[in-house]
Chain A
Amino acid sequence: MTLNNIVPSTQDFWRYLFSPVSVAIIGASNTPGSWGNNAMKGVLSAGNKRVYPVNPNSPEILGIKAYHNVTEIPDAIDLAVIVVPEKLVPDVMRQCVGKGVKAAIIITSGFAETGEAGRKLEAEVAEIARQGGIRFIGPNSMGHADTGSQLSTFGQPGTLSKGPVAVLSQSGSTCMKIVRSLGELGVGCSKYVSTGNEASLILEDYIEFLAQDDNTKLIVAYVEGLRDGRRFFRLAKEVTRKKPIVVVKVGGTEESARAVMSHTGALAGSDAVHTAAFRQSGVIRVEDDDELCDVAYALLNSALPRNNRIGILTIGGGQGALTAEICEREGLAVGKLEPATVEKLDKILPPRWPRRNPVDMAGPTAADLGEISNLLWPLIEDKNLDIILLLVPIIMDNTVLTGRMGLKPEQIQAYREKEEHNIMLIRENIEKYEKPVALIWQGRGVNSDPSALTLLRKGKILAFSNTRRTARVISHLFRYRQYLEAIKGEK
């Protein structure tokens, strides 16, 4: 046994954890579907690491020579992935210490989340690791991933798509759900961690590291309970000046608090105090994981509004009225059009338009819809409006182009080019005036058509199919901007 217990510096430690060159999978297995098999396949899939399975009962795992014990591996080990039954974890951790393993993740469950005996076992493992200078993820973690180094201990096959969002989650399945939902919105991740029971590394540690991580522009977290609320608060105050932190925190109701306690053994804590702490430190608190993804998407794909006054452009009166009401309930205001805007719109819209906000197009033809951007400019230029909501399609569906408008294929091509040109002009104005533009339109032509979504994203136009979600997201963007303005000049 080599004595190699040199504790790596913090910087090095995170590199070993997220970008290991050599990985031992302790408890690797040939049984398809088992955690030990998944982890092995996942770590192997990138093909850029030296991977050593450890299993005393099999000479080979997935065709690779297996070792009885981590200490027998003839190579230095950066990361140990531990998937053995819980009773064996203390011994395995001792061996990792003996081997001089730099970082570890314990996937195994059956610790503090199960009761008193589990709590003791967890404390024992944590103490062995602490004395041996190993910091670890988990136990009861589902995995961790770094899209930069293409490491995933979740057992995901294939290439991990890169992106600017770091996901931290005190629930493994919620971690994966968030990562997948972000993917569906076209948002990739830098790193994601199922933090498990946090016996060694706690949420606050990851945030401190991610604050310095150049690949991470935005941190989102699913939180059941903070281990060191004061440290979280201090860190968040610093981090949110540069990188937004979006948090969904459960435990606000009695039953949810009980569920949290038995899930990761964390204390849910007073909800009102959490709300205060988040607000005071610029953390964006959302209600659920869907909203979390919506807000992450919006932070990356939109300007932050200067104020909360919306302008609504609608194809019909009913949607305009509904949207106005929902927006007001979510803390936004319906702006009063400047006289100049009314004059400009008078020249474009039929005389029956109501000459006020929401701007009702009063029954446009399909051809009129090709001219939406002409209506958008006066609204973007209006000093009384900070956000523009479009309840009209700014990108046309193929069926409309071929059917109602009767365009031929070469005309469609030209139409699409004009659309893209328009979208890029809109983006220029969104950036120039710092006014978010959001499209709220039924699934057709937006959510069902990935090319339409891509084009909207290119144009920095937010697209949602639900008004309340849109209003909530924009309200979050507004409050975050307000916070950033308020802290300017404060130490």
Chain B
Amino acid sequence: MSNTSKIIASVRQQGRTVLTEIEAKQVFSEAGISTTATVLASSQTEAVALSEKIGFPVVLKVASPEITHKTDAGGVKVGLKNKAEVRKAYSEIMASVRPKYPKAKIYGVSVQSVARPGIEIIIGVFKDPQFGPVIMFGLGGIFVEVLKDVAFRIIPIVRRDAAEMIKEIKGYAMLNGYRGHEPAHIPSLEDILLKVSDFVEKTPGIKEIDLNPIFAYKDSAVAVDARIVLEDKP
């Protein structure tokens, strides 16, 4: 049994449909998609130790499959530069999240390395009632939220589809670099699209995927946040 099947089986066993960020990143790593280092710390002490191991600065995020809007809940602390800041952030996260989600299962926090900023990309998957799994590509932030500047394809896709959907968005020119930003490495983005498509095709029961954001650099791209939702029934 592959790592991915084990993770999904265990999520099912726990009666969940939403993978934690850590689980989702493990699944995507196995699918060949690079993600920022993310590990689970189940206590404040462990959070400090893991932060030291990953290297500062780090990000802490509350680890709970039931809390989807982590930032709104006060469950995210970024740019933590030393042990003291990590310790403080851990306490603050727990103090903020607990009253808002009194019944949520909280595993602790995920400790993540901070990715160097790049062009923000979003890649997603959802199920269309008529066409089944559909993959989406867009620029992150206001481009996807306000301008809805995204391109779709039916899964499975081939490299030509991936190349076309990247070129199709109105903000394509942004990928060539702007205001001193380095350009985005298009082949890396194509690779992620193909790997996500391939993963969905091979893995039954996937309902939704969000890789948001992905940071694109001049020679690579890395998924900074990841989310996988399973179908209600396997």
Contact = CB atoms under 8 A, between A and B. Distances in A.
B152 A272 contact: yes
B178 interface: no
- Give the most central of A225, A230, A233: most B CB within 10 Å: A230
Contacts of B131: 229-230, 233, 269, 273, 277
Nearest to B134: A273
Contact-residue size bin, chain A (C-beta under 8 Å from the other chain): 20 to 34
Interface in B205-226: none
Contact-residue size bin, chain B (C-beta under 8 Å from the other chain): 10 to 19
Nearest to A281: B154
A275 B154 CA distance: 10
B154 A267 contact: no
A277 B158 CA distance: 13
Contacts of A228: 130
Interface in B137-156: 150-154
Interface in B117-134: 128-132, 134
Contact of A280 (B128, B132, B150, B161): B161
B160 interface: yes
A276 B151 contact: yes
A490 B128 contact: no
Interface string A250-277: 0000000000000000010110110111
Interface string B152-168: 11100110110011000
A281 B153 CA distance: 10
Contacts of A272: 150, 152
Contact of B132 (A230, A267, A281): A230
Contacts of B130: 225-226, 228-230, 267, 269, 273
A1 interface: no
A170 to B, nearest CB: 14
B160 A276 contact: no
B138 to A, nearest CB: 11
Interface of B: 128-132, 134, 150-154, 157-158, 160-161, 164-165
Given A230-B132, A230-B154, A276-B134, 18 more contacts: A228-B130, A229-B129, A229-B131, A230-B130, A230-B131, A233-B154, A267-B130, A269-B128, A269-B129, A269-B130, A269-B131, A273-B131, A273-B152, A276-B152, A277-B131, A279-B164, A486-B160, A490-B158
